[in-house]
Structure 1
Amino acid sequence: MAAWIWILLIILALVAGAVAGFFLARKYMEKYLKDNPPINEEQLKAMMLQMGQKPSKKKLNQMMIAMKRNAK
């Protein structure tokens, strides 16, 4: 085979590997974040208590909504 065919095949294999790697990594991260959410209400409540704030249900809900909005 000619050298230019080998070079073309190598470039095509690299591009296909990069595309496949991107989609596999994206799928893995989506599954990971679904199984292990970054923070939940109990963790937020504990964090507010450590900072010296009294967490009300309304304040917790507002913060959770804000965090979900920022995560998108």
Structure 2
Amino acid sequence: MATWMWIILLIVAFAAGLAVGFYAARKYMEKYLKDNPPINEEQIKSMMLQMGQKPSKKKLTQMMNSMKRNAK
């Protein structure tokens, strides 16, 4: 086979690998987020109740904002 054919084959294989890798990573993340959703206000509320604190709406909002800031 000529050298130019090997180069074309290599480029096509690389592009196909990128496409398949992107698709697989996307599906994996969708499944992961479906199985393990990010924390929400109800989870924070139950966690605070378990620690013996009485959660108010203000505290819940502060905790959610704090977690969003830390996630960035």
TM-score w.r.t. length of structure 2: 0.60
What's the counterpart of residue 66 of structure 1?
66
Distance 1:4 1:31, change over 3 A: same
TM-score by length of 1: 0.60
Aligned pairs for 1:33-72 within 5 A: 33=33, 37-72=37-72
Q: What amino acid maps onto 1:12 in structure 2?
A: I
1:50-70 Cα shifts (integer Å, max 9, x gaps): 222222211110111122233
Q: Which runs of 4+ in 1 moved over 3 A?
A: 30-34
Aligned to 2:14: 15
Q: What is the number of residues matched between the two proteins? A: 68
Q: CA separation in 1, counterparts of 2:30 and 2:71?
A: 12
- Deviation string 1:28-47 (CA, Å, 9 cap, x unpaired) is 4368648x631111111111
Structure 1 unaligned residues grouped into runs of 5+: none
Percent sequence identity is 74
Letter in 1 for 2:16: G
> In 2, distance between residues paired with 1:46 and 1:13?
52
